[in-house]
Amino acid sequence: MITYDQVKEAVHPTPPLDLIQLFNELEDKICGHPDCLNDLDPFAKLKDDGSFCLSATSIQSNYVAFVLGKYHKTSFPEEIIQMLFNVPTDYSLQFKEIDGRTINGCICVIHLLDEKLDLHRIYDHIYSV
């Protein structure tokens, strides 16, 4: 869990407190799911058993993002996808699947903006840092 004080020190302008609280709630539920691999190298352990991982996250001034990974022949747990799509209606949600050879994934961005964000750019930014 990340504290609001930690976010205030690192992100300028600081995102709203409720967005950070939502981030922490979603991250806790994703990582607490019994099929979520919480490992330093989860991609090596993903297989055709329904397991998945939280590959990366990002907290920015206007949004929070989650990148999930899974073995290409499986699906993400329904309750995880439902949870992401059932964020409070104050927020906008953007979701995109990511296809790979053996590992597929998705990026989920939750924000308070009226515009559509470029998920490809956000994904690239997450993995360039």
Q: What is the pLDDT along the chain (129 residues), one digit of tens a residue?
A: 899 999 999 999 999 999 999 999 999 999 999 999 998 889 888 988 999 999 999 999 999 999 999 999 999 999 999 999 999 999 999 999 999 889 999 999 999 999 999 999 999 999 997
How high is the pLDDT of residue 40? 86
Sequence letter at residue 91? Y
Share above pLDDT 90 across residues of the chain, in percent, rounded to a whole number: 88
Please name every residue paired with 53 in a beta bridge, in sequence order, or none if there are none: 69
Express each pLDDT in 108-124 by its tens digit. Answer: 999 999 999 999 999 99
Can you give the pTM of this predicted structure?
0.94
Report the pLDDT value the prediction gives residue 39, as an integer from 0 to 100: 86
The arrangement of strands across the sheet holding 103-111 comes to: 52-59, 63-71, 103-111, 92-98
So what's the pLDDT on residue 64? 98
Phi, psi of 91 (to 5 degrees): -100, 155
